[in-house]
Each structure stands twice: as structure tokens, then as C-alpha cells.
Amino acid sequence: MEGLLREFDWSNNPLGPLENWPMSLKLFVSLILPNTLPCAILWGPELILIPNEPGVFHPNNKNGKLENLGKRARDFYSRIWSQFEPIINSVRYEGKSFFGEDYPTRDLSWDESPISYWSMNLSPLRNEFGQIKGILMTAYDTTEKVLNFQGLRETQNRLELALDAVKMGTYEYRVAIDEFIPSDRFLEITGAKRGISRSEMRNTIFEEDRIIRDQAYHKALHTGILLYEVRLQKDPSQWIRIEGKAYFNEKGEAEKMVGTILDISDKKKSEERILESTKKLAIALEEQRDLQRQKDEFLQIASHELRTPLTSIKGFGQLVEEILLENQLFNESQMVEKLNQKIDQLQKLVENLFDVSKLNSGKLFFEDSVFDLVDLLKSNVEDVRYSPTQHFFKEEYPFKGKVIADRDRISQVIMNLLTNAIKYSPPGSEITIRSRKQGNFMVVDIQDKGIGIPDSEQEKIFSQFFQSEFLSSQKFKGIGLGLYIASQIIHRQGGRIWVESTLGKGSTFSFSLPLFFYYAP
Ligand code: ADP
């Protein structure tokens, strides 16, 4: 740089040749030359620029195109002179030093140059008589610091926006100096005043809940994680959730806690409402279970008490019918026959109610034995074959097999399916009874050509008291227990029961039972 200074043509410069420079200027120049920070001297009434090496390209000619050496400050800084001049003047006329931090600047020779930031110091330079003759300018590039800071500020702004959106407050607690720094939102939620201490903060918590907070802090000292939900003293219906993190020093002591606060009153209220309704529901369910128990008990006692007299009535009815026939009182015997049919219906109904009460109270037991299912089917068909409706029974048994089950109960199922097939299909129509094998199961199909069941009802048909809406206007009367009992029996015997049906064309009810395999020891 010293070389550059010497080579520079000073002859046409207001400063004149180097050797004529005043001692003080020479001294100042020799002082700034070795400086590693960008410096420059602005000397004389024209403020001629003499930079040191780092200052040659400083402050605004980083691309090296423009040199400031020997230039008038007014010319070199022409673009910013209107702002710069008052500062310069206050230094050179009033002797005031100036310090400017993070000034945004562009390269003066390059319009599109990116903005850089500089901090600069201007101080007056006096000659040996104390007169201000020049200015010492030092500057350093603070672009990186400023940009980092701006980035940080943007991140912080974004964070604040996010916190604001969820109405979340923040706080910081510095353990060593016992300083508690809450955000505005924190104060708004808790109703506390700025400058509140940590122990005062504790008092904003509902008295009964302070122990929850103390325990959470105690735990956080070990785990580093703070989390608790408490009510506020000012209004115990207001709930807050504090979440935080503890930071420890090398000795493992907590140095600071940083965390968030959220008003969770609404959430708590809905949780309480849910809890309340769950409790009510549980009570209602218990009441319903009680009612169900009472109903089952009543059904069991009533149907049991009805069975015995009904059996006697039925016996006497049949006896009376026989006596009337023997005495050739045909009209009277026909009346009694009708009476006996009604007694049969009544007895079936009572039996069904009795079974349901046993099923519901888990008291329906099975006496299993091994039997031939086709033999049972044949005997059941014989029982209904000569029904007054003159249905035609077609039997197809390509597969014969033994099952292990309660024979009487399975017979009850088959009879129910057969009587339904009769009941819900036209007199004289065909009813097919079929046996087949499906894996380790034997399947029985009972197919009628009757009224069928609408798709919407096929799933519900095996539930308690189900009766078709489709039939309600028609002549069929039942109570809707037969298929429910049948399905319960079949399921408990390890099988399945189902229906396939087309409205107006007929239904096929099927059930399966596990086949009995005899393994010789
Ligand atoms: P119930 O016949 O005493 O009403 P079930 O449980 O035996 O009771 O039958 C329930 C309902 O299923 C009947 O009301 C009827 O609507 C329907 N259903 C049962 N079997 C048939 C069938 N073979 N064809 C058409 N509908 C039937």
C-alpha cells in the first residue's frame, strides 16, 4: 500500500506531492497503513481519501472497480452525500466523533450490488496546533451478523404468529437469578401482572392444585420435561396446561426452564361432559340390565308355572275329544278339536318363552349324544307330512352322517324350520329337505316356495321378537322367537344358521353342525 501511495500521481491533487504533506498527515497515514481493519483518512478542506489496504475497496467498492485513493469524499460518496455530509460536518466542525451501527450500503459503482451492512466510526484528526484537519474513518462489515439477526427475527416472528394462532403463551425461568419472564399471552391467560415473581406466579394456581404443579416441577428436575394441568385461582373453572423443558449445566443443575401455557378450559369442559354422559350411560345400562334380569326372571317363573296346568288341560282336551267321537257327537268333537289346536299353539308359545328365559339367563343346557342327523330329519318330516295344508315333502339325502349334539334340541330346530316353511308357503306347494357335507360339517337345507323374505330383513330375522314388517298386514301370527331360539341352539352346538331367500319365490333356511369323527384308539 505504501508503494501505491508513492506511485500515485499527487501532482494534480489538492493534497499536492507526498513530500509536501504536513507531518501530522504523514504520521496518521503511517498509523493506519498496518491496521487490519478497513480505515481511511479524509484530509483537508476537500476531504481527500487515503485508505489503508483493507480500506481501498472499502466501504463501497468491493468489486475492485473503483478506487477511493486520492478521491474527494464528496465525489466518491456522491450518491449518499446528502446523508453523509451532515455527519462529516459535525465531526470536522464540531469535533464530535460518530459511531454508526449496521448501516445498509450498496457498492457505489454497482447499481445491483447486494446490500451490505457496515458499522463505522468517524473521529476528528487534529494537527499539532489542535486544529481539525481531517477525519479518521474505520469501518467493519457487519452483514453476516445483521442477516443472521434478521433471520432469527423472522423465525421468531413466525413462531410468535404460530403461538398467537393457537393462543399459546410462553415463559422462561432463569434459575440462578430467580427471574421469571412470561410473554404477554401468558399474563393475559393467568391474569398476572408483568414483573411477577415465580413464587407469586405459583399463587395464581388454584390452591388445591398447587401440589400438582409442585410435583410436576420436582419430576422435571429429574426428567427435564415439565407437564401439568391445573385450575386458576381467579376462576377455578379455567384450566391451563403448562408444558416445559429444563436446561441443565455440566453439574446437572437446572439452569433455566422454557415452556408454554395453553388455556384448556374448553377441552376440560367437554371432557367433563363426556365423563358425565359416560356415567349416566353406565347407570342407564345397569338399570336396563336390572330390568332385563327382572323380565327374564318373570318370564322364567311365569312360563314354568304355566307349563304344568297346560299339560293337564291338553291331556283332558284330547280325552274329551276322544269321548265325544266315541259317542258320535261329531259337531261337538270338531269344536273340541279346534280348542285342542289352540291349546297346542298356546303350549308352543309357553315353551318358546320358557326357552328364551333359560337362554337369556344362561340356563339352557345341552345333553349331547351321537346320532344320525338324516334319521332325525326323516322322523321330523314324518311328524309334519300329513299336515292339513297338504304340502309335498321332497327328501334328498345324498350324504348321511353322524353329529354330536342334543338330539331333542336339534329336533326342535328342524321342527321350527319345517313349520315355518309350511306356514309361509302356499298349501300344496313343495318343501325340499336336503342333507350335504361341507368340510367337517354336515349341512341341512329346508327349502320352500313361499313368500320369501326381503333382503333388508334377512339379517335381522334371527334376532329376538323379530317379525317381518312385510307380513304385518297379512294373516300370519307368531311371536318372533322360533328362529332366535333355533340360532342360539345351533351356535351353542358349534354350527351356523343362515337364510337365502328371494321375495315371492321362496326361502332356503340352512344350518350346519360339526360331524362326529370316531377315532379308534
Ligand atoms: P314366528 O314365526 O313365530 O313369527 P320365527 O322366529 O320362527 O317366529 O320367525 C320370525 C319371522 O321370520 C317370521 O315372522 C317371518 O316373518 C319370517 N320367516 C320365518 N321363516 C320364514 C319362511 N320360511 N319364509 C318367509 N318368512 C319366514
Asked whether residue 153 is assigned to any structural domain, the reply reads no
Residues β-bridged to residue 299: none
> Quick check: 474 pLDDT over 90?
no
| 402 and 419 housed in the same domain | yes
| 327 and 383 housed in the same domain | no
Q: Is the dihedral of CA 65, 67, 71, 73 positive or negative?
A: positive
Instruction: Tell me the pLDDT of the chain averaged across its residues.
Output: 88
Query: Cis peptide before 514, with omega less than 30 degrees from 0?
Result: no
Asked whether residue 149 is assigned to any structural domain, the reply reads no
Output 501 or 254, whichever has higher pLDDT. Answer: 501
Give the burial string for 392-422 (b: 16+ CB within 10 Å, else e). ebeeebeeebbbbbbbebbbbbbbbbbbbbb
Q: Give the model's pLDDT for residue 110.
A: 57
> Quick check: 334 pLDDT over 50?
yes
What digits encode the pLDDT tens for the residues 477-521?
667 889 999 999 999 999 999 999 999 999 999 999 999 986 555
Cell numbers 384308539 label which residue?
Answer: 521
258: containing domain = 166-268
**Number of compact structural domains in the chain:** 4
Q: What is the DSSP letter of 451?
A: S
Cell numbers 307368531 label which residue?
Answer: 478
Q: Give the model's pLDDT for residue 58.
A: 46
Helix, strand, coil % in the chain, rounded to nearest 5: 45, 25, 30
Backbone phi and psi for residue 269, each to the nearest 5 degrees, phi listed first: -65, -45
Asked whether residue 158 is assigned to any structural domain, the reply reads no
Asked whether residue 159 is assigned to any structural domain, the reply reads no
SS3 454: coil
Q: Give the model's pLDDT for residue 519.
A: 59
What's the whole-number mean pLDDT along residues 391-407?
95
Contact, 260 vs 233, CB < 8 A? no
- Mutational pocket test of ligand 1: of 467, 473, 476, 485, the residue with most ligand atoms within 8 Å of the beta carbon: 467
- Amino acid symbol at 286: E
Q: Give the model's pLDDT for residue 477.
A: 60
Q: What CATH number does the domain containing 457 carry? A: 3.30.565.10
Q: What is the 3-state secondary structure (H, E, C) of 256-267?
A: EEEEEEEECHHH
Asked whether residue 381 is assigned to any structural domain, the reply reads yes
Q: Give the model's pLDDT for residue 431.
A: 97
CA of 410 to the centre of ligand 1 (A): 18
- Mutational pocket test of ligand 1: of 461, 470, 479, 481, the residue with most ligand atoms within 8 Å of the beta carbon: 461
Report the alpha-carbon distance of residue 502 to residue 20 in Å, rounded. 123
What digits encode the pLDDT tens for the residues 227-244?
999 999 999 999 999 999
Report the alpha-carbon distance of residue 241 to residue 184 in Å, rounded. 16
Asked whether residue 157 is assigned to any structural domain, the reply reads no
CA of 418 to the centre of ligand 1 (A): 11
Give the burial string for 187-209 (b: 16+ CB within 10 Å, else e). bebbebeeebeeeebeebbbeeb
Asked whether residue 160 is assigned to any structural domain, the reply reads no
Cell of 10: 499527487
Q: Ligand 1: which residue has its CA nearest to atom 13?
A: 467
Q: Give the model's pLDDT for residue 65.
A: 46
Q: Is the dihedral of CA 408, 414, 417, 420 positive or negative?
A: negative
Q: What CATH number does the domain containing 121 carry? A: 3.30.450.20
CA of 479 to the centre of ligand 1 (A): 9
What digits encode the pLDDT tens for the residues 87-144?
999 999 999 999 988 877 765 555 566 777 888 899 999 988 889 999 999 988 888 8
The domain boundary, picked from 88, 111, 143, lies at: 143
Q: Which of 44, 43, 19 is nearest to 32 (CA)?
A: 43
Q: Give the model's pLDDT for residue 63.
A: 54
Contact, 133 vs 126, CB < 8 A? yes
Pocket of ligand 1 (CB under 6 A): 416, 420-421, 424, 448, 450-451, 453, 461, 466-468, 471, 478-484, 507
CA of 362 to the centre of ligand 1 (A): 24
What's the whole-number mean pLDDT along residues 59-86?
75
